[in-house]
Structure 1
Amino acid sequence: MTLSIGQPVPDFTAEATSGKTIQLSALQGRKLVIYFYPKDSTPGCTTEGGDFRDLYSAFQAANTEVFGVSRDGIKSHENFKAKQGFPFELISDKDETLCRIFDVIKLKKLYGKEHLGIERSTFLIGTDGTLLQEWRKVKVPGHVQQVLEATQTR
């Protein structure tokens, strides 16, 4: 199943930092930015998370909650979140449930070897739970500003 713009995002429940369980249906009424990143504490992921952190109050002002998602465990997420001062929760998707819903697991090449990994992607979900916009194969510089602008106009 592939999600399309304008379609409802299937409800999900996921384990997140701060001992929270995130349930999509419980968040209706707010827009959501869900960004998928490959790995905690790597340079690109740290920069991207920092950009979301630095603009977090603007996302909040646009009635938008932000969640970062990777396959790292909660302990790794808690360390990454604390070290970087992220004001938003990180979701652990070890079993790749969310990765499959959003179709972000792709064949990647690293040092000439192929492996399956998370393709850096961001999704904007509307107040009614439908997919409003998606960004795939994200390049970090300037990306978070684009996402913020989309939340402010949708």
Structure 2
Amino acid sequence: MEWLGSRVLRTLWTPTVNIVRSRYHADKTRLVRRYGYNEKLWCGGLLPRSEGKPLPLPEYRPANMWTERKGLFGQNDYIDILGPGNIHPVKTLYTVPSWIRGVSGQEYHILLRKKKMWAKSGTPTQRPTKWKEMQKRISYLYRKLNRKTKTGPSPD
């Protein structure tokens, strides 16, 4: 140290600081969460077999290919070509709901048709939740279609 009058001039000395950095993320010490929790599910891969014999397989039973459902599958596919011509192929869709039969359109148009048919049958009072969900979907699709549809003055 040097004396300069009433002040003491100290030499500049800084301590060496060792910053400990991890080279890889995996080397960092991690906080142990859920200490003491024992996992009850096995997550270590395949289970070892204690006995040498494999598990028993169920007895093979072939499916009956001539059940009514499988035997009559596709019976009406060519009714318009091979039949007398007085029945439309849409009329042969027996298992399809009535509002979907023969419709070619977007979801919005199908839902409008369904709404019209359900209103006649009294569904709004019998199944109010389904009716409300359908109304919500129709209003959403209506807004979406109006946003995507170009409107404005005609080019004429």
Same fold (TM over 0.5): no
Give 1 or 2: higher strand fraction.
1
- TM-score, with normalisation over the residues of structure 2? 0.18
- TM-score, with normalisation over the residues of structure 1? 0.19
